[in-house]
């Protein structure tokens, strides 16, 4: 069968690469794809983004199902459009994607269903937001309500910073419609983990746990980014915590959405902060897989991924299981000069040789200029490796990453540090 993956990032390269490994899959189209998906055997880029064109292509070419990578087309209703045309597609509807596309929707939903999260208030009026801030002490987080490509969150260290964030979003209109409402919430302390599942409206299949590194620089310093590296599993998610997150967060979301008449289908990503008190609180929901979390997670998935997605589309997730490589996988992001503010494009990338079976270089912001692969976006590559320990995966990923070069390359040197530090701390959950 032929499949389609929507998107152009490292996440989509990893999803398409994994789908292609199914013996039943002949070809995976990636729309629009990147320089890596253009070169990967069995993958083919499709220069289409408009829903009607994509739908027409799937109908004409007999695409068996479509997997949607990024949040933007989901929030625009790509799943509704594909289903309306009688096509099989995995992802949430536009209404269900509000768990990500409106922070206020997500917070209100969590309140209704008793899901643990930071205390919050929502504002459209700047004066009211400023007054609320003045009445509160301590560190605070200001978030644009809508999608802002990962830039809509300000974790303010001081009240002045928080006031400035309100002005930028509400008065300054920095994010347009997306910032016309802001959510102000209590700043949570602890360690973050990414908890991602597949949902079919009713049943849940947990994927392996992972941890991202959002800051640009070593030691979690510098500006927030889309993610500079990730690894799986995340030992902070012990078996007890895993069960607790399923019980207190994931199941109530899927049951609650169903109950409210908006059944949740697709990947569901809960970003959780695990506090000193051991309580997992939701920072955010994403209605898709994480990037770069997907890259290490897909390296570890042992099942036929196409079969899992088909089961999800058909509402049979209770009848399948996911099997994970027992090893760690760790991915290091190589970002372009100027990322995250103004990434430079067009730098030639050298050293993209053949990897070994334990290493895969997933492309994100790359394009082909003739035969030459060049940078074409902020996060350029994610070099991902497997290893028996997190340290071994880390060493292997950095050895491979160090062979790749382009002008202005930015890369953190410490991806996986929390897990390396925690080494020997015992049991982990896939």
Q: Which residues are near ligand AMP by CB under 6 A?
A: 118, 141, 143, 153, 155, 185, 187-188, 192, 214, 271, 283-284
Select 66 or 232, whichever has its Cβ closest to ligand AMP.
232
Quick one: which of 29, 410, 402, 356 has its CA closest to 226? 410
Q: Quick one: what does residue 291 bind among ligand AMP, ligand GLY, none, with the CB cut-off 5 to 8 Å set by partner type?
A: ligand GLY
Select 104 or 192, whichever has its Cβ closest to ligand GLY.
192
For ligand GLY, the binding residues in 109-168 under the rule CB under 6 A are none
Instruction: Report if residue 227 touches ligand GLY, rule: CB under 6 A.
Output: yes
CB of 122 to ligand AMP, least distance (A): 14
Strand partners of residue 331:
230, 384
Pairwise CA distance, residues 170 & 179, whole Å: 6
CB of 329 to ligand GLY, least distance (A): 15
Burial of 179 (0-12, 13-18, 19+ CB in 10 A): buried
CB of 327 to ligand GLY, least distance (A): 21
Pairwise CA distance, residues 125 & 123, whole Å: 6
CB of 429 to ligand AMP, least distance (A): 21
Beta carbons within 10 angstroms of residue 400's beta carbon: 21
Q: Quick one: what does residue 153 bind among ligand AMP, ligand GLY, none, with the CB cut-off 5 to 8 Å set by partner type?
A: ligand AMP
CB of 284 to ligand GLY, least distance (A): 8
Q: Quick one: what does residue 283 bind among ligand AMP, ligand GLY, none, with the CB cut-off 5 to 8 Å set by partner type?
A: ligand AMP
Tell me the site size for ligand GLY, rule CB under 6 A: 6
Contact 301, 295 (CB under 8 A): no
Select 283 or 312, whichever has its Cβ closest to ligand AMP.
283
Q: Quick one: what does residue 227 bind among ligand GLY, ligand AMP, none, with the CB cut-off 5 to 8 Å set by partner type?
A: ligand GLY
Tokens of 337: 């000069």
Site string for ligand GLY, 197-226 (x = CB under 6 A): ---------------x--------------
Q: Quick one: what does residue 293 bind among ligand AMP, ligand GLY, none, with the CB cut-off 5 to 8 Å set by partner type?
A: ligand GLY
For ligand GLY, the binding residues in 255-314 under the rule CB under 6 A are 286, 290-291, 293
- Residue 7's φ and ψ, nearest 5 degrees, are 135, 180
Which residue is listed with tokens 């409106």?
Answer: 102
Cα–Cα distances (Å) from 200 to 109, 192, 404, in that order, read 19, 26, 40
Select 199 or 374, whichever has its Cβ closest to ligand GLY.
199
Q: Quick one: what does residue 234 bind among ligand AMP, ligand GLY, none, with the CB cut-off 5 to 8 Å set by partner type?
A: none
CB of 137 to ligand GLY, least distance (A): 29
Question: How many Å separate Cα 80 from the centre of its chain?
Answer: 21
- Residue 108's φ and ψ, nearest 5 degrees, are -65, -40
CB of 381 to ligand AMP, least distance (A): 22
Quick one: which of 168, 183, 227 has its CA closest to 364? 227
Q: Which DSSP string corresponds to 390-418?
A: HHHHHHHHHHHHHT-B-TT-B--S-TTHH
Pairwise CA distance, residues 205 & 315, whole Å: 11
Q: Are strands 43-45 and 120-123 parallel, antiparallel or unpaired?
A: unpaired
Q: Which residues make up the interface to ligand GLY (CB under 6 A)?
A: 212, 227, 286, 290-291, 293
């Amino acid at each position: 069968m032929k499949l389609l993956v929507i998107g152009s990032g490292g996440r989509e390269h990893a999803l398409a690469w994994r789908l292609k490994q199914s013996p039943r899959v002949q070809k995976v189209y990636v729309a629009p794809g990147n320089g890596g998906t253009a070169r990967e055997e069995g993958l083919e880029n499709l220069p289409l983004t408009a829903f009607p064109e994509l739908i027409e292509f799937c109908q004409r070419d007999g695409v068996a199902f479509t997997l949607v990578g990024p949040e933007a087309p989901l929030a625009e209703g790509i799943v509704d459009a594909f289903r309306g045309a009688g096509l099989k597609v995995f992802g949430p509807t536009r209404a269900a994607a509000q768990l990500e596309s409106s922070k206020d929707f997500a917070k209100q939903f969590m309140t209704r269903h008793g899901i643990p999260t930071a205390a919050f208030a929502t504002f459209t009026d700047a004066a009211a937001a400023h007054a609320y801030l003045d009445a509160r002490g301590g560190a605070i987080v200001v978030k644009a309500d809508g999608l802002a490509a990962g830039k809509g969150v300000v974790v303010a260290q001081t009240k002045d910073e928080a006031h400035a964030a309100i002005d930028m979003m509400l008065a300054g209109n920095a994010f347009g419609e997306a910032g016309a409402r802001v959510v102000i919430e209590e700043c949570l302390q602890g360690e973050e983990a990414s908890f991602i599942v597949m949902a079919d409206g009713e049943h849940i299949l947990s994927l392996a746990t992972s941890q991202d590194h959002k800051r640009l620089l070593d030691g979690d310093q510098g500006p927030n980014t889309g993610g500079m590296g990730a690894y799986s599993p995340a030992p902070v998610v012990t078996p007890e915590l895993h069960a607790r997150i399923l019980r207190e967060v994931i199941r109530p979301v899927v049951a609650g959405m169903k109950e409210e008449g908006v059944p949740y289908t697709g990947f569901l990503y809960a970003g959780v902060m695990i506090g000193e008190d051991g309580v997992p609180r939701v920072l955010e929901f994403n209605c898709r897989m994480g990037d770069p979390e997907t890259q290490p997670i897909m390296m570890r998935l042992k099942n036929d991924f196409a079969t899992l997605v088909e089961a999800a589309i058909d509402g049979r997730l209770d009848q399948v299981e996911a099997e994970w490589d027992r090893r760690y996988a760790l991915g290091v992001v190589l970002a372009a000069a100027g990322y995250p503010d103004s990434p430079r494009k067009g730098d030639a990338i050298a050293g993209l040789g053949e990897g070994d079976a334990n290493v895969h270089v997933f492309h994100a912001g790359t394009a082909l200029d003739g035969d030459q692969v060049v940078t074409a976006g902020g996060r350029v590559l994610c070099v991902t490796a497997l290893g028996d320990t997190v340290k071994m995966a880390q060493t292997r990923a950095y050895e491979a990453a160090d062979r790749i070069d382009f002008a202005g390359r930015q890369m953190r040197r410490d991806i996986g540090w929390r897990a390396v530090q925690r080494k020997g701390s015992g049991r982990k959950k896939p």
